[in-house]
Structure 1
């Protein structure tokens, strides 16, 4: 028998597909599926009971996985919580931006659309609301890694872009607008925290009005202060 006729050893077979298949899924696909189950379980557990009342064992029980598989994807519970938090922030910001861009070009309509999207998303997703506006503020790990600061900065930038879109002829520096955006973000955030912690007791209309007033006041202030040449243009 020539060398070419020798059968390949067992460990050399299927070299083009190195990962074993199980129920049609590769090893990496199964790992990703387990990770997604843990994230889903964490969202439900943290959003229902709060971060500090939930253990790794609780998450694994919810996900129907052993703790071994938790540590396959996450080093500790804070890492899972941070992953969930960032996903929720992305979803929330996407909803707000989409609503603003689909609204009329009238600044007041844009303000109403963006804030309505924010508040509606929170009220329709109480687990999301709790994680973002209650527990995330208390989990020290997120502050140590500047996760909270960065997420707030993302909303600052979104609000700054929104203000510049509403009033492109503003005679203010970007540094000043950045500070104004931070103030607007902090104002809305504090109202949102209070609303979420109360269990959404106040009506949507009341909360929307409270959030809108500072944006409308700013809009009116800038309109009054705008140079006559800009208004004529």
Structure 2
């Protein structure tokens, strides 16, 4: 028997041994446990808040022992970070999908994108709490620059949105980047206030408030030529 053949047989035996529990390999079972912990974390953190939830609480929710928690995560903050990034991806995808499915009319694109953002938050209060309340308070996310990187991702998304709305905008990339950062901060602060209030203000009013700055941007950059002409005539 060659070394190659022996190695192949050993690998096959290992694979067979791995698939002894419900047809799943060891790595597949580990991934399944990890997903259960993530779902349990969304439920627990999103309902009670990060600082009121322990590793034991997460394990009880997931119906797993604590040793399985530490199999996938070193500490609570690591699980929370994983959940935060997962929910941010979901939120961003919902917004982008709504924008791309809207008509080419700039105002309708603004309404579609912001409506998707607000509806996602209202329909998923656990997500909203994790992203807009607890994440701002978990120091680990700030230490690892997770919050900064996430805000930058939304800055870039809004940057692309501005270019999509106004492809002929007469501004430098650096100026548009700063504008996108401002728009992101504006909408984020409104979203935080709305979530923390328990969605007391009607969504139509929140949507109108968020839309105002985007509509003002459209008006501002659609008039400069006519304003310049007036100035020349004077």
- TM, length-normalised to structure 1: 0.91
SS in 2 for 1:137: coil
SS in 1 for 2:74: coil
Alignment match, 1:128: 127
Alignment match, 1:17: 15
The answer on whether the counterparts of 1:170 and 1:226 sit within 8 Å (CA) in structure 2 is no
CA distance, structure 2, for counterparts of residue 88 and residue 126 of structure 1: 12
Q: From the superposition, tell whether residues 13 and 157 of structure 1 become closer, same or farther in structure 2 (CA, over 3 Å).
A: closer
Q: From the superposition, tell whether residues 14 and 210 of structure 1 become closer, same or farther in structure 2 (CA, over 3 Å).
A: same
Alignment match, 1:149: 148
What is the CA-CA distance between 1:17 and the residue it aligns to? 1.8
SS in 1 for 2:64: coil
Q: From the superposition, tell whether residues 172 and 124 of structure 1 become closer, same or farther in structure 2 (CA, over 3 Å).
A: same
Q: From the superposition, tell whether residues 224 and 77 of structure 1 become closer, same or farther in structure 2 (CA, over 3 Å).
A: same
User: Is 1:107 matched up with 2:106?
Assistant: yes
Alignment match, 2:62: 63
CA distance, structure 1, for counterparts of residue 218 and residue 188 of structure 2: 19
- For structure 2, the 5+ residue unaligned runs are 228-234
Alignment match, 2:78: 79
What is the CA-CA distance between 1:20 and the residue it aligns to? 1.8
What is the CA-CA distance between 1:175 and the residue it aligns to? 0.6
CA distance, structure 2, for counterparts of residue 225 and residue 140 of structure 1: 44
The answer on whether the counterparts of 2:15 and 2:25 sit within 8 Å (CA) in structure 1 is no
CA distance, structure 1, for counterparts of residue 11 and residue 25 of structure 2: 16
Count of residue pairs the alignment pairs up: 221
CA distance, structure 2, for counterparts of residue 13 and residue 136 of structure 1: 44
The answer on whether the counterparts of 1:156 and 1:182 sit within 8 Å (CA) in structure 2 is yes
The answer on whether the counterparts of 1:47 and 1:127 sit within 8 Å (CA) in structure 2 is yes
CA distance, structure 2, for counterparts of residue 227 and residue 185 of structure 1: 29
Question: What per-residue deviation string (whole Å, max 9, x for no partner) do you get for residues 117-140 of structure 1?
Answer: 000000000000000000000000
The 5-angstrom pairing of residues 167-182 of structure 1 reads 167-182=166-181
Alignment match, 1:231: none
Q: From the superposition, tell whether residues 16 and 70 of structure 1 become closer, same or farther in structure 2 (CA, over 3 Å).
A: closer
Q: From the superposition, tell whether residues 18 and 109 of structure 1 become closer, same or farther in structure 2 (CA, over 3 Å).
A: same
User: Is 1:201 matched up with 2:200?
Assistant: yes
- For structure 1, the 5+ residue unaligned runs are 229-233
CA distance, structure 2, for counterparts of residue 65 and residue 197 of structure 1: 32
Quote the RMSD (CA, aligned, Å). 1.9
Decide which structure has greater helix share. 2
Question: What per-residue deviation string (whole Å, max 9, x for no partner) do you get for residues 163-200 of structure 1?
Answer: 01111111111011000000000000000000000000
Question: What per-residue deviation string (whole Å, max 9, x for no partner) do you get for residues 30-72 of structure 1?
Answer: 0000000000000000000000000000000000000000000
User: Is 1:159 matched up with 2:126?
Assistant: no
